[in-house]
Homo-oligomer: A and B are copies of this chain.
Amino acid sequence: MTTANEVVNGSAAPAKVSYASDQEVRWCPGCGDYSILKQVETILKEQGKPKEEIVFISGIGCSSRFPYYLDTYGMHSIHGRAPAIVSGLRTVRPDLSVWMITGDGDSLSIGGNHLIHLLRRNVDVNVLLFNNEIYGLTKGQYSPTSPEGAVTRSTPMGSVDHPFNPLALCKGADATFIARAMDRDPKQLREVLTKADAHRGTSLIEIYQNCNVFNDGAFEVFTEKATKPFHTLFVEHDQPLVYANGTKGIKLDGMTPVIVDLTPGEALPDDLWIHDQHDPFKASILVRLFDDQDHEDAMPRPFGVFFISSRATLETKLNAQVALAKEKKGVGDLDALLSGERTWTIA
């Protein structure tokens, strides 16, 4: 980027400086957003990347206020359009570290199309999808991830919309990095964030986030001590799918996943499903473990990194074409462009 380079004068920031901005955080007390903000700030600190080389782009929603709270570059844009803004920004600035903050309404309702196109184009950005299964900022209407039957301000008789399975949708859009985390498990969240940041391409992280004002407890079964072990499945690359404190595992019967009982301590049956984060077919099934947790013998909900594949990013390919064009035709000569191919002269 000609000028940016001229005027930019970055240099490594002193480690462990604070990445918080001077703005007071304005989320409701108890909102899950606080935890996510904290985890992000923590890993930024750990990495110690210069603040000026980091950009946060968000849409509109409670979650999208996020950029104001970090002392990096940031844009709080318009509802649903962050992916498009990110695409333009990265195309001209492949040198930056770009993060996108969005909500379930912002990215899956009004912004759904931009999100799937961002994923297929594989623009290099870390997408943090704050899923609270509700519209927070507009005070409690259901969202595309709210369960069917959800009684909200816009659905007094219960929602009639079948909700999206966000990760299945993203997989269908050929995402190259898919993961799930939650506000209430800071450690796992930081791990996932770190892996996401390491991935070159669009890293999509769905983060379950509690909206304690309009949808309190939506993810309780996954976050509460008592129920967490039996409803969550933390997947690790190359490791078998085991949960419930080692008392249960998952194997595949043909293409259908089934639950098997395990005896802790004993050797694991060797037909257990071994998680392979590079297997696109397995990933297509893994995202389908999406049972309603109220049903008994429901499959647990997977967390962690589901899938990683490497595919050249949009900006890499586009800038390669620019370089190639310059190489082939020579760096553009404005006068040649102005005169075009055929001219005539009046003397």
Interface size class of A (residues with CB under 8 A): 35 or more
Number of copies: 2
Q: Could you say which residues of chain B place their CB within 8 Å of the CB of A172?
A: 165, 168-173
Does A317 have its Cβ within 8 Å of any Cβ on chain B?
A: yes
Does A217 have its Cβ within 8 Å of any Cβ on chain B?
A: no
- In this complex, which of A113, A282, A321, A325 has the most chain B Cβ atoms within 10 angstroms of its Cβ? A113
Instruction: Establish whether residues B164 and A120, one from each chain, have CB atoms under 8 Å apart when the complex forms.
Output: yes
Once the chains are docked, how many angstroms separate the CA of A165 from the CA of B171?
11
Instruction: Establish whether residues B288 and A285, one from each chain, have CB atoms under 8 Å apart when the complex forms.
Output: no
Does A324 have its Cβ within 8 Å of any Cβ on chain B?
A: yes
Does A226 have its Cβ within 8 Å of any Cβ on chain B?
A: no
| Residues 308-324 of chain A, each 1 if its beta carbon lies under 8 Å from chain B, else 0 | 00010010011001001
Instruction: Output the least CB separation between A78 and chain B (Å).
Output: 15
Does A279 have its Cβ within 8 Å of any Cβ on chain B?
A: yes
Does A1 have its Cβ within 8 Å of any Cβ on chain B?
A: no
Does A136 have its Cβ within 8 Å of any Cβ on chain B?
A: no
Does A7 have its Cβ within 8 Å of any Cβ on chain B?
A: no
Does A284 have its Cβ within 8 Å of any Cβ on chain B?
A: yes
Does A281 have its Cβ within 8 Å of any Cβ on chain B?
A: yes
Q: Determine the residue in chain B with the shortest Cβ distance to A172.
A: B172
Q: Which residues of A contact B (CB under 8 A)?
A: 110-113, 116-117, 120-122, 144, 157-158, 160-165, 168-174, 252, 254-257, 279-282, 284-285, 288, 311, 314, 317-318, 321, 324-325
Closest 9 interchain pairs by CB?
A172-B172, A113-B113, A160-B317, A112-B113, A255-B281, A284-B284, A169-B172, A157-B321, A168-B172
- In addition to A121-B162, A165-B174, A168-B171, 9 A-B residue pairs with Cβ atoms within 8 Å of each other are A111-B113, A116-B164, A120-B144, A120-B163, A160-B318, A160-B321, A168-B172, A172-B172, A255-B282
